[in-house]
């Protein structure tokens, strides 16, 4: 049955900052699924239950044997769990790493571990050790990439390259998005100038209502801080043309300079109040932010 994690890291807390954390991060960057307390535990987890689950749900167990590890009881408990699995499953589970210890120290602590081929950390970085472990932990990843590619992955350069590419794509796509709310471009057309009047140009319309002509705003986005408020208009009753059958007409007249950038047609209704309500509803629909 497939395991939830590729590897469990058993270590003493004193070794976390200088060695264990860089090793866990290097393995993760190579695509290894690592059970490591900083990656896996969340607030409210029972430490003992989570570690027990990590021990049983990981294919391998990396054991960082250091002077601090040898002195502590908690890592020794984890080691016993890995040894029990190795005996029961009759296959290699424990991958020992000797961190600042001699063979005599390991032999005194655990004779079986002293006989197990281990990685010694002298003169090696966590990144180099992670590449050595990868061949055993995830041979599929190891075979899929050449050494140069693996070194790029473990140093985080591959992730940085992808992040840079993503930023470039975002930049290239930015012209197709409203700069205020990221609403997509819906139409881009070239409008011919009218005889004796001129005008025309490249018109770009966005889903939020934002619109440009030759790069200059002709209609504002509701998320633009310069979008006028309803209070920046006054409702004014206007005379009714005969063809409107005596209906009341009401218009919204701008009170501020920026309100002049957002115009509304006169609204006609059976009553003045109804015409005002229709204009208010029209404003609220246009002022509603784009939600995607």
How does residue 281 score in pLDDT terms, banded at 50, 70 and 90?
A: very high
4: annotated active-site residue: no
Q: Which of these is catalytic: 71, 78, 144, 190?
A: 78
Which residue, 228, 172, 177, 175, is CA-closest to 207?
177
Phi, psi of 261 (to 5 degrees): -80, -10
User: Token pair for residue 120?
Assistant: 């010694």
pTM listed for this prediction = 0.49
User: How far are the Cα atoms of 57, 184, 237 from residue 16, in angstroms, in the given order?
Assistant: 22, 47, 75
**What does the angle CA 199 – CA 200 – CA 203 come to, to the nearest 5 degrees?**
130
Average pLDDT of the segment spanning 36-65: 63
CATH topology of domain 5-144: Rossmann fold (3.40.50)
Asked if residue 174 lies in contact with residue 182, where contact means CB atoms within 8 angstroms, the answer is no
DSSP state of 16: I
Can you list the pairs that 155-163 forms with residues at least 24 positions away whose Cβ atoms lie under 8 Å? Answer: 155/29, 155/127, 156/29, 158/29, 159/29
The answer on pLDDT for 209 being more than 60 is yes
Provide the pLDDT for residue 63.
Answer: 83
User: How far are the Cα atoms of 162, 210, 215, 252 from residue 222, in angstroms, in the given order?
Assistant: 33, 8, 18, 18
Average pLDDT of the segment spanning 175-202: 82
Provide the pLDDT for residue 158.
Answer: 43
Provide the pLDDT for residue 74.
Answer: 59
Provide the pLDDT for residue 230.
Answer: 94
The answer on pLDDT for 41 being more than 50 is no
User: Token pair for residue 187?
Assistant: 């139409």
**What whole-number distance in Å separates Cα of residue 65 and Cα of residue 101?**
7
How does residue 252 score in pLDDT terms, banded at 50, 70 and 90?
A: very high
Q: What is the mean pLDDT of the chain?
A: 79
How does residue 276 score in pLDDT terms, banded at 50, 70 and 90?
A: very high
- Residue position matching structure tokens 């018109």: 203
**What whole-number distance in Å separates Cα of residue 259 and Cα of residue 279?**
15
Average pLDDT of the segment spanning 32-48: 58
Q: What is the pLDDT of residues 63-100, one digit of tens each?
A: 888 888 888 765 566 667 677 777 676 677 778 888 88
**What whole-number distance in Å separates Cα of residue 26 and Cα of residue 9?**
13
Pairing mode, if any, of strands 248-254 and 216-219? unpaired
User: Token pair for residue 266?
Assistant: 């006169």
């Amino acid at each position: 049955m497939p395991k939830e994690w590729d590897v469990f890291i058993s270590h003493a807390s004193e070794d976390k900052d200088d060695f264990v954390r860089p090793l866990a991060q290097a393995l993760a960057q190579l695509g290894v699924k690592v059970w490591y307390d900083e990656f896996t535990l969340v607030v409210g987890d029972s430490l003992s239950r989570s570690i027990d689950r990590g021990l049983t749900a990981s294919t391998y167990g990396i054991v960082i044997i250091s002077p601090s590890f040898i002195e502590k009881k908690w890592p020794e408990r984890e080691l016993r769990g890995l040894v029990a699995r190795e005996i029961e499953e009759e296959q290699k589970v424990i991958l020992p790493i000797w961190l600042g210890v001699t063979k005599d120290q390991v032999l005194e602590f655990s004779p079986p571990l002293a006989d197990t081929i281990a990685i010694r950390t002298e003169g090696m970085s966590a990144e180099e050790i992670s590449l050595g472990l990868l061949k055993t932990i995830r041979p599929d990843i190891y075979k899929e990439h050449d050494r140069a590619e693996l070194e790029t992955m473990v140093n985080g350069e591959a992730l940085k390259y992808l992040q840079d590419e993503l930023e470039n794509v975002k930049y290239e796509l930015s012209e197709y998005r409203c700069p205020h709310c990221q609403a997509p471009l819906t139409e881009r057309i070239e409008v011919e100038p009218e005889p004796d009047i001129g005008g025309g140009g490249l018109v770009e319309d966005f889903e939020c209502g934002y619109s440009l002509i030759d790069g200059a705003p002709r209609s504002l986005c509701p998320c633009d801080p310069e979008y006028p408020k309803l209070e920046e208009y006054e409702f004014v009753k206007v005379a009714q043309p005969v063809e409107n059958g005596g209906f009341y007409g009401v218009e919204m007249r701008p009170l501020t300079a920026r309100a002049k950038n957002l115009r509304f047609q006169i609204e006609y209704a059976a009553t003045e109040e109804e015409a005002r309500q229709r204009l208010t509803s029209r404003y609220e629909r246009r002022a509603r932010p784009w939600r995607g």
